Amino acid sequence: MAGNLSDYRNKFISGNLAQDIKAFKDIFKNDATLRVKQISARKGVNFDAALIYIDGMVDSNQLNEAVIEPLMEMDVEKCYDNLADYVEKQLIFARDVKPQNEFAKILEGILYGEALLLINESKTALMLDVKGWRTRGINEPENERIIQGPREGFEEAALLNLAMLRRKLQTPDLCIELTRVGRRTNTAVFICYLGELVNRKTLRKIKDSLSKINIDGILDTNYIIEEISPHPLSLFKTAGTTERPDVVAARLLEGRIAVIVDGTPMVMTLPYLFSENFQSDEDYYQSFWLGSLGRIMRYFCFSLSILTPALFVAITTLHPEFLPTSFVITVLEQRAAVPFSIVSETLGMVLIFEILKETGVRMPQNIGPALSIVGGLVVGQAAVEAKIISAPTLIIVALSGIAGLMLPRLRAAVFFLRLIFIILAAFFGLYGLFAGAILLLMYIISLKSYDTEYTLALNKISIQSFKDSVWRAPWKIMLNRPLFNKNIIRQKRK
């Protein structure tokens, strides 16, 4: 197609069928999938029309049954003076029929799977909703599997995702607004929220941010996250992402806003709190005792993952007096023949562990687990026996890496913080480690997610704020929603 949609905003249908067909053929002159089907009816006066659509984007059966057959059988003598009005209201049985005369709007519809019906001597065309592109179907998200709870996940078709969300929230208060983002992709982006719960100031700010995006194309939710994030360089996510309809529904019930991008199963939710990094979907589908235990373990594993290698480096290099003499002797014996320093050895092992983890994720599903086992056990054991690395370092790095696997939402942050803390410990020992931990805490507290404090539940300490942050309380006593809502009452006491 020549140019962008914005180039056709002041161009309209002429009413001359041959001329309009030529105009669309010129626009799609390099597109072999464009189909133009001319239709003529000869009952009564002559009726000439043309269907224009993209092959593969429409449902051929619906197009034939709901559009072409009625047009071929129509009796023009019974038509109104306005043929387009008659066809729209009494003849076509498509899901939706919209009159349109602006080229930009028509092109937008054709590119999204609609069919265009041009009628000779009518300056109004009809857009027919006969979409029929295939989807991969509803499956459980690979990265968010749970043992107990709903098994369905979003897919790439935004309209189907909205239908799944609507099925979860059967209330007229669910608001869904459409905007288009991307100069060339013109991607459909849907903003979803519950009208009585959403913070209107936050909603306006998100809409303004979306309207200011000026990029060629949007192919995934992360494009938007990076464009509108108030902290684009932060290691920590300030916008949530999920592939699960139940998670999005739960976030909307807490007064949050969801952004659904057509073409990707990842849905963004705002605002996003630090405590959400440690929450799991399954916390709410099992006993609150198990949910709370899992959540507390994730907080513990976060500290263990980023601090353990650095603590090992600091104590073994600069503060050996903190260790029992027997332990120090054991470590020295293990390292006697190792040619590398503890710092370089630890950094190297952290990088190798990340490479093995990344390779296991990218490899085919039937090869990835085997590769991880071979890399982790066989290669690690061989490296220890060859005196390339020491056993204590391998144990410490493996413990840190395994603890980090409990925090998939903090994967990038955990990796980089682990490296930063190791470097601080190598130069400044425990003093650098403690100073880094304090600076990290101050940095996390300073972050915001669309005017909402990132650590809101921890800053404004109250019994209610802790009931769904550090631990998962029973539903009967979780009376309030998060504090950023204009209506914080989730349920009333009886």
Summarize pLDDT for 91-129 with one digit per residue, the tens: 777 778 888 888 888 888 888 888 898 888 888 888 888
Instruction: Please list, residue by residue across 355-373, b when 16 or more beta carbons sit within 10 angstroms of its beta carbon and e when fewer do.
Output: ebbeebeeeeeeeeeeebe
User: Which residue would you say has higher pLDDT here, 195 or 472?
Assistant: 195
**Which of 284, 309, 342 is the C-terminal boundary of a domain?**
284
* Structure tokens, 215: 């990029």
- Say yes or no to pLDDT of 189 above 90: yes
Q: Which residues contact 26 (CB under 8 A, 6 or more apart)?
A: 2
Q: Which residues contact 150 (CB under 8 A, 6 or more apart)?
A: 244, 245, 246
Share of the chain above pLDDT 90, in %: 15
CA 105 vs CA 8, 176, 448: distances in Å: 9, 20, 38
Residue 325 forms part of a structural domain? yes
Q: How many helices (H) and strands (E) does the chain have?
A: 18, 12
Q: How confident is the model at residue 447 (pLDDT cuts 50, 70, 90)?
A: confident
Arithmetic mean of pLDDT, 466-494: 68
Highest mean pLDDT among 128-132, 176-180, 342-346, 363-367: 176-180
CA 20 vs CA 13, 58, 208, 358: distances in Å: 7, 21, 36, 53
What DSSP designation does 268 have? E
- Same-domain pairing of 301 and 440: yes
Q: What is the pLDDT of residues 68-87, one digit of tens each?
A: 877 777 765 555 556 777 77
- Say yes or no to pLDDT of 460 above 70: no
Q: What is the pLDDT of residues 314-336, one digit of tens each?
A: 988 888 887 787 777 777 777 77
How many residues are listed for the chain in this entry?
494
What DSSP designation does 219 have? -
- Same-domain pairing of 190 and 307: no
**Which of 284, 317, 335 is the C-terminal boundary of a domain?**
284
- Same-domain pairing of 146 and 226: yes
Q: How confident is the model at residue 13 (pLDDT cuts 50, 70, 90)?
A: confident
- Say yes or no to pLDDT of 369 above 70: no
* Structure tokens, 51: 């269907």
Arithmetic mean of pLDDT, 60-71: 80
- Same-domain pairing of 110 and 146: no
Q: What is the pLDDT of residue 478?
A: 73
- Same-domain pairing of 301 and 439: yes
Arithmetic mean of pLDDT, 361-369: 65
Q: What is the pLDDT of residue 437?
A: 92
- Same-domain pairing of 56 and 104: yes
Which residue range is the domain that position 241 belongs to?
142-284
Q: What is the pLDDT of residues 157-180, one digit of tens each?
A: 888 899 899 999 988 889 999 999
CB–CB of 443/450 below 8 Å? no
Q: What is the pLDDT of residue 143?
A: 79
Q: What is the pLDDT of residues 198-216, one digit of tens each?
A: 888 889 999 999 989 988 8
- Same-domain pairing of 25 and 160: no
Provide the domain count of the chain. Answer: 3
- Same-domain pairing of 146 and 201: yes
- Same-domain pairing of 313 and 372: yes
Q: CA 244, CA 155: separation in Å to the nearest integer?
A: 10
